[in-house]
Every structure is written in structure tokens, then in C-alpha cells.
Amino acid sequence: SRLPPGPPGLPLLGNVLDIPLKGLFLKLDEWKRTNGGVFSLSAPGQKIVVLADAKSAADVLDKMSAPTSGRPRYIMMNEIMAGNLTITGIPANERWKRCRRIIHEGFNARASEGYAAIQEEESGRLCRYLLQNPGCDLYPALERTSCGVILRALYDAPSLFTSPTGEEKVQKLAEQMDAFMKAAMPLAYMVEMFPVLKYLPRWMAPFKAYGEDFFKDSNAYLENLYQEGCSTKQEGGKAKGFAVASEEARDHFGVTTQEAAWVSGVLYAAGSETSAAAVQSLCMAMLLYPEVQKKAKAEIDAVLGPHAPTLADRPNMPYMHAIVKETLRWRPPLPTGFPHLATENVDYGDYTIPKGTIVIGSIWSINHDAPTFGDPSVFRPERFLSSDGKTLSTPLSNYHDDDIAYGHGRRLCPGRYFANNMLFVEMTYLLWAFDILHAKDEYGRTIDPPNCQFVDRGLTCRPADFPCVFQPRQSTLADVLPPI
Ligand code: HEM
């Protein structure tokens, strides 16, 4: 074998017993320290290559993206429970290309700017919510914001802060997402190890009956949601969501209504937890690095004064822009990335990555590479600033221009423009409206946030919950924030 070497494993089982279900990104980083930036793992019937430094990930996943942009099979999660319709989980086939095209139409750099008004309004509403509910749990409020923004952007749905009917949608979509996440966990279903089980009749395979029924129910729900979103165009005068905008592109690229409905559902799933996780990490960074918060406030006061931020302010706010990038580096919301699959044999240096190997570009390890970043565990936005104070897209040479947190190659996150805009607006809004301060316990002692504890949901990962105080920076804040 010309696979790169890796940590020793057991006969037949390989490394399977050492691969943790939670905190995998930390384990990969630990293995990187003893095995170098490129190493292999094995599980029964499956080889895995981990690319844990920026150069190897750029060489293999970006520069050779044609043969490394596949996805491993997710028989239960994608094929049975989703009828092969999840764009994140299908191979890079014709359906995937069609679907990426309509996403590109709706979420490219220019189109994403069209959602700025929604992102600004919902960020303002988040601030009002925090003002009216001091001491509320932070993460649910952030999740409500990101879910509300993406629902409005996709389906022209009403704000979750103003309309109680939206909660029902969020609940249903969250249930679907949980079921998919569970099904995608390694060894959750035996059919992943023995694909032939997929062909058992329903009555002999309860997992199949559950998966097929789940698909029927989810399909009806997502198609209905999409149709509802498309019908908003009759109302006129309102911002138009992706559902309406995608109708034209759908015909152009030959995308079926069912495919577009599932694309929208996946966009919701991909865009909600990720953004909320990033903003929660920002709040923690502001507690741990008060000097960064101070510098951000200096820029905010100089550029915005009493005016609420908008996306249009970003070119004048290089420090805030750098804060967004540093947050995504420091605490990437998908720290292990998304597994790619080699669809051909790929030669890389002295190694060959055989066809069928899972290839992981380990985002956390790349972002926390000590030789590249010097002090990777420190939150230091300055690493994204040039000597003349402009924001750098990346401090790395020889790497694609986007933040590593958005993945690699042809699978690079298609929602990154939308997400970057959202993060800039929401983070700047919070820092403009509030001083983010440590909470105190009943004895008046400062409560430190848990710096390295995580809530790991398998794919997405966010800091463990912590309390903090949002202290308004102006007495007239309530007068300028949008109503809820
Ligand atoms: C901070 C926010 C976000 C982060 C950190 C993030 C990160 C990622 C990452 C790491 C991947 C996997 C890339 C790979 O396979 O190499 C991905 C894929 C994807 N993301 Fe995002 N994402 C974010 C927000 C969004 C948003 C807002 C949307 C939609 C509007 C979105 C839509 C998608 C889709 C559809 C894919 C699957 C692409 C494919 O398999 O071809 N993401 N994202």
C-alpha cells in the first residue's frame, strides 16, 4: 500500500475503537502531533486519509478536486431517509451539479447582498430580544436569529421574533435534522456495513420501514414549504426569497420541484446551526479577550457612531471584518469538515490515495496549525490584517481565498457569502449595541466561560453554554432597534 502511515490499530478493526463519536477534531489534532500533517486511519472495509495541514488539504482537495469531491455513501441518511436528495450527502453527479447551480444563482456574492436587509433587521431584533430578556440563555436566542434569517431568505417566511407560527416550522425542521444527524453517525445502522440489507423487504427490515416513512413525511413537508415560499410572489412588494427566485433558475438548469424543495431544506439545515455557533464563539472571545472588544468598539464608534450597522459598512470596518474571520478560524463551526471521497486513485507525493478512500480535510487542525499561526489558540484578529490595516482574505499562501472553515474544492460551502454577510452584520450589531461582559455568580464572583468545552453534534460543534451580560451602550437603544 502506498497510503500514508498512521496510528497503529488492531487487526481487522483498525483504528475504529480509537475514533471517538464526540470531539473527533481534537483526536485528529492529537494524531497529527505524532503522525504529521498527512496520515491514514482504517476501519473495517474502509480506508481514511486525514489532511491536517493547509498545504496537503490545498494540494489534494483544491488542486485535485475533480477526483476528490465525492462523498462517502450514507445509505440510511441519504438514500433511504432522503431519497438521494441531500446535496451535502450525494456524490458529485449530475443531480449535484444541477442543484449547486441553483444554489449559486441564489447565494452567489451579488445575490447574497440582496438578503442584507433581512440580516440587518433580524440582528436588530436579536438585540432588542437581549435587551428585553437580560439573563436569557444565549444560544437559543442566536439560533432563533439564524433560523429566522434563513427561513425568511428561503421562503419569505415571517420573522421568528414577531410571528409565533414560525416556531412550528422550526420545530419540525429541527426534528428532521436531528433524525438525519443520528442516522449519519458511524455505525448507527448496520446497513452502512452491510449494504445488501438495503434490499430486504420492508416487513423484514424495521429500519427500512422507518426510513421510507420518514422520507415520505419529510418530502411532503419540504415540498409544501417550498410551494408556500414560491406562492409569496403573488403578494408583491415583499422581499423575494430563494424559493421564488429559484423558479426561473430551476427551469433553466432542469431542476425538478422536488429537488429544489430538498435543496431549500438542506440550505436551512446547513445555514442555521453553523451561524449561531459562530456568533456564540464571538461572544465567548469577547469575554476572554477584552482588549479585542475594546478595539472593535473603537472602530465601531469611529465608523458608525449612533447609527446601527449595515452590510454596506463592512469596507470601512477592517477590524470587525477580521474579527469575523478570526472567529471562523478559532472556533470553526464544522471543525472536522465534511468527509470527501476519492473517486479515482490519487497520487500525492510518495503516496497513493486509492479510489474509495474517505478524505478528511481537518479544518480544526489546519486552523490550529502552530507553524502557520504561531499562537493558534489565541484569538487575535490582527493575523487577518495587512500592515496597512486592510483585511486579508487569508494569512496563508498557496491556499484558496476563502476561509478554511468553509471547506474545500468543489464542495466548498456555497452559502459562504450569505454566511459571511450574516456574521459581519450580527456580530457588529451586538458589539455596537452592547458591552459583552462576564456574568457574576451569587457571591459576586466572575463566571469564566468554559474555553475548551464543546457541544458536539457530530458535524457541527459549538462552545458549551455560558452566561454573559449584554450591557446596553446607549440609553436610547430601545428607540432605534426594530420591534419584536
Ligand atoms: C458560518 C457558517 C457556515 C459554515 C462554517 C459552513 C461550512 C461548511 C462546510 C465546512 C461545508 C463542507 C465543505 C466540504 O465538503 O469541503 C459546507 C457545505 C455546505 N454548506 Fe455551508 N457553512 C456555513 C453556512 C452555510 C449557509 C448559510 C448555507 C446556505 C445558505 C450553507 C450551505 C451549504 C451547503 C448546501 C453545503 C454542501 C455543499 C456540497 O456538498 O456540495 N452553508 N459548509
The stretch 356-365 carries a mean pLDDT of 97
- On whether the CB atoms of residues 326 and 384 are closer than 8 A, the answer is yes
- Of the residues 413, 425, 457, which should be mutated to test ligand 1's pocket, given the most ligand atoms within 8 Å of the CB? 413
Residue whose grid cell is 490550529? 368
* 360 within ligand 1 shell (Cβ under 6 A): no
What average pLDDT does the chain have? 94
Residue 94's pLDDT band (boundaries 50, 70, 90)?
Answer: very high
* 366 within ligand 1 shell (Cβ under 6 A): no
The whole-number pLDDT of residue 340 equals 97
Which residues lie closer than 8 Å to 443 by C-beta, 6 or more apart? Answer: none
- On whether the CB atoms of residues 300 and 432 are closer than 8 A, the answer is yes
Strands (E), 346-478: 346-348, 351-353, 358-361, 434-438, 454-456, 461-463, 468-472
Ligand 1, atom 31, lies closest to the CA of 415
The stretch 17-29 carries a mean pLDDT of 93
Residue whose grid cell is 496597512? 388
pLDDT tens profile 9-22 = 999 899 999 999 89
Share of the chain above pLDDT 70, in %: 97
Residue 148 lies in a domain: yes
The total number of structural domains that make up the chain = 1
Residue 354 lies in a domain: yes
Estimate to the nearest angstrom the gap between the alpha carbon of 42 and the chain centroid.
Answer: 27
Q: Tell which atom from ligand 1 comes closest to the C-alpha of 334.
A: 10
Q: How far is the CA of 150 from the centre of ligand 1 (A)?
A: 13
Q: How far is the CA of 2 from the centre of ligand 1 (A)?
A: 32
Parent domain of 359: 16-480
Ligand 1, atom 3, lies closest to the CA of 274
- Of the residues 324, 406, 422, 426, which should be mutated to test ligand 1's pocket, given the most ligand atoms within 8 Å of the CB? 406
Ligand 1, atom 42, lies closest to the CA of 415
* 325 within ligand 1 shell (Cβ under 6 A): no
- DSSP H or E run through 47: strand 46-51
Residue 331 lies in a domain: yes
CA–CA distance from 114 to each of 228, 244, 325, 326, 355 (Å)? 20, 13, 22, 25, 41
pLDDT tens profile 254-265 = 999 999 999 999
Q: How far is the CA of 441 from the centre of ligand 1 (A)?
A: 38
Q: How far is the CA of 333 from the centre of ligand 1 (A)?
A: 10
Share of the chain above pLDDT 90, in %: 85
* 90 within ligand 1 shell (Cβ under 6 A): no
Going by the annotation, the residues of the binding site for heme are 413
Residue 228 lies in a domain: yes
Q: How far is the CA of 236 from the centre of ligand 1 (A)?
A: 31
- On whether the CB atoms of residues 415 and 271 are closer than 8 A, the answer is yes
ipTM of predicted assembly, 2 dp: 0.99
d(CA 460, CA 456): 6
Ligand 1, atom 21, lies closest to the CA of 413
Answer whether residue 238 shows pLDDT above 60. no
The whole-number pLDDT of residue 473 equals 97
Closest to 186 measured CA to CA, from 464, 459, 461 = 459
Q: How far is the CA of 166 from the centre of ligand 1 (A)?
A: 23
Residue 343 lies in a domain: yes
Ligand 1, atom 36, lies closest to the CA of 413
Answer whether residue 104 shows pLDDT above 90. yes
The whole-number pLDDT of residue 234 equals 61
Q: How far is the CA of 306 from the centre of ligand 1 (A)?
A: 34
Which residues lie closer than 8 Å to 223 by C-beta, 6 or more apart? Answer: 257, 258, 261
Ligand 1, atom 32, lies closest to the CA of 415
Residue 1 lies in a domain: no
Residue 372 burial (10 A CB sphere; 0-12, 13-18, 19+):
middle
Answer whether residue 444 shows pLDDT above 80. yes
Going by the annotation, the residues of the binding site are 413
Put residue 446 in one of left, alpha, beta given phi > 0 → left and psi -120 to 50 → alpha: beta
Closest to 460 measured CA to CA, from 188, 269, 266 = 269
The whole-number pLDDT of residue 402 equals 76
Ligand 1, atom 17, lies closest to the CA of 413
Q: Which of 211-215, 300-304, 369-373 shows the lowest mean pLDDT across its residues?
A: 369-373
* 37 within ligand 1 shell (Cβ under 6 A): no
pLDDT tens profile 136-195 = 999 999 999 999 999 999 999 999 999 878 888 899 999 999 999 999 887 789 999 899
Residue 410's pLDDT band (boundaries 50, 70, 90)?
Answer: very high
pLDDT tens profile 380-402 = 999 999 889 888 887 766 666 67
Residue 294's pLDDT band (boundaries 50, 70, 90)?
Answer: very high
* 411 within ligand 1 shell (Cβ under 6 A): yes
Residue 120 lies in a domain: yes
- On whether the CB atoms of residues 412 and 296 are closer than 8 A, the answer is no
* 166 within ligand 1 shell (Cβ under 6 A): no
Q: How far is the CA of 312 from the centre of ligand 1 (A)?
A: 24
- On whether the CB atoms of residues 433 and 471 are closer than 8 A, the answer is no
By three-state DSSP, how is residue 61 classified? helix
Answer whether residue 360 shows pLDDT above 90. yes
Q: What CATH number does the domain containing 96 carry?
A: 1.10.630.10
The whole-number pLDDT of residue 187 equals 77
Residue 10 lies in a domain: no
Ligand 1, atom 41, lies closest to the CA of 411
